[in-house]
Amino acid sequence: MAQLTHFIHGEHIQGTSGRTREVFNPVRGEVSAQVPLASWEEVTAAVDSAQRAFGEWSAVNPQRRGRILLKWVDLINQHRDELAEALSNEHGKTFEDAKGDIQRGVEVVEFGAGAPHLLKGEFSHNVATGMDVHSLRQPLGVVAGITPFNFPAMIPLWKAGIALAAGNTFVLKPSERDPSVPLRLAELAREAGMPPGTLNVVNGDKEAVDALIEDPRVKAVGFVGSTPIAQSIYSAAAAAGKRAQCFGGAKNHMVIMPDADLDQAADALIGAGYGSAGERCMAISVAVPVGEATAEALREKLLARISKLTVGPSLDPVSDFGPVVGADAKERIEDYIAAGADEGAELVVDGRGVVVPGHPNGFWVGATLFDHVTPDMRIYREEIFGPVLCIVRAADYEAALRLPSEHEFGNGVAIFTRDGDTARDFTSRVEVGMVGVNVPIPVPIAYYTFGGWKASGFGDLNQHGTDGLRFYTKTKTVSTRWPSGLKEGASFIMPEGS
């Protein structure tokens, strides 16, 4: 069994807390490694390292930092298959999906390499007699990221890539469920030329999170996970005087209008609802067909496609999706399926009891479909985070629009239609942070920003894009007057821009 480590000041460090967690291969349902859970002292050592490295890294000119980031990208690409296999073996998503996880993270690091342009300040000449004003964007210092199990490459790269590009140093606390890829990414960052301590990885649980929040040298915290924890971390970080961007749960809807291409819509729902076993914060978990005729036709098309899905080993190229991440996740999802049936939803396809030959202990949950779901049911209100798709029938467009707009979560939403007026009205009025028009998973590309509304996000600035640079930098404004513009004698009035 592999014994994993922390990565502090450019070196693998054995855990000293005496506490560990088992890492599972979800296909086999067996322990594949043990990961140490950091003590308060170990987190402090990682922050010490980042603090020491900050002076050197922040002094590197932005263009050279960008070159190092691009070297990091090159190394990640060289090792992409290795990283994807490790990711699949610990998370359960398919090999191709794992490569996509890595690619979407790499794209944000590539965007970060353009930071020299984005970090430019402003300049105003002669704002008063002989006086000029300019602004600077400067890094915050040591910043931290607390990232989830479902994207063990993408989200660490989203957070660290932008923070490092801005000149900060970074302490990453990844999920203890699948820590191998974040550790390998830190190794490759060091190989790319980042000074020791620029990117540290500490594995851990709540103790590690609390240590990062309470350390006054950590100036900003980014988190992705469940809404209750996001809200808790946001509140604690803000109370400690830190910047925080904390992203929580989701219940993403897809509205299907009567004029939509139903084959396109059904294909989109299958991929967006069941891909990665539904363990995506942007997964579509609610289909909203408008009108009974649309609902009946869509249901038949979904059933035909679900019957052809293959649930199987992550590295088997014929698998459409693999297992869920753990036995606890499997139990939770199956409890939701039972609750939905008990509450009166029609269980059209039951994903419980899936058997995968040769892998009897894997954490398997098959594609599940509910119809006639209503907004008062738990399977509609709460995030299931599994391969469960609910059909909520809407009588008309206005009823369909209200469902995502009035839901507690506001992460992502999609509408499928051929009508431009309908799409334009929907994108303008829907109360959700990210919207797709005939795009089922509207994750913005790297130079736009990612973030949900309502209980899906806490904080004023979102992830990556220009918001990411603003979050990880502070603005300094400098007013300058040289002797030729000075008047003799003291002035006791507020300076005016005249």
Provide CB contacts within 8 A for 52, sequence distance 6+.
9, 197
Cα distances (Å, whole numbers) of residue 77 to 105, 107, 189, 467: 11, 11, 12, 26
For β-strands 199-201 and 412-416, DSSP reports them as unpaired
User: Is 281 annotated as catalytic?
Assistant: yes
Catalytic residue among 45, 53, 281, 311: 281
For residue 410, list its beta bridge partners: 453
Provide the 3-class DSSP secondary structure of residue 368. Answer: strand
What is the Cα Rg of the chain in Å? 25
Query: In the chain, what is the straight-line distance between the N-terminal and C-terminal CA atoms, in Å?
Result: 73
Cα–Cα distance for residue pair 268/248, rounded to 1 Å? 24
Q: Are 76 and 188 in contact (CB under 8 A)?
A: yes
User: What would the two tokens of residue 498 be?
Assistant: 């005249």
User: What would the two tokens of residue 38 be?
Assistant: 């950091």
Cα–Cα distance for residue pair 186/332, rounded to 1 Å? 32
State the DSSP H helix or E strand holding residue 25, giving kind and residue range, or none if neither. strand 20-25
Across 37-184, the runs of DSSP E, i.e. the strands, are 123-128, 131-139, 142-146, 169-173
State the DSSP H helix or E strand holding residue 51, giving kind and residue range, or none if neither. helix 40-59
Catalytic residues: 281
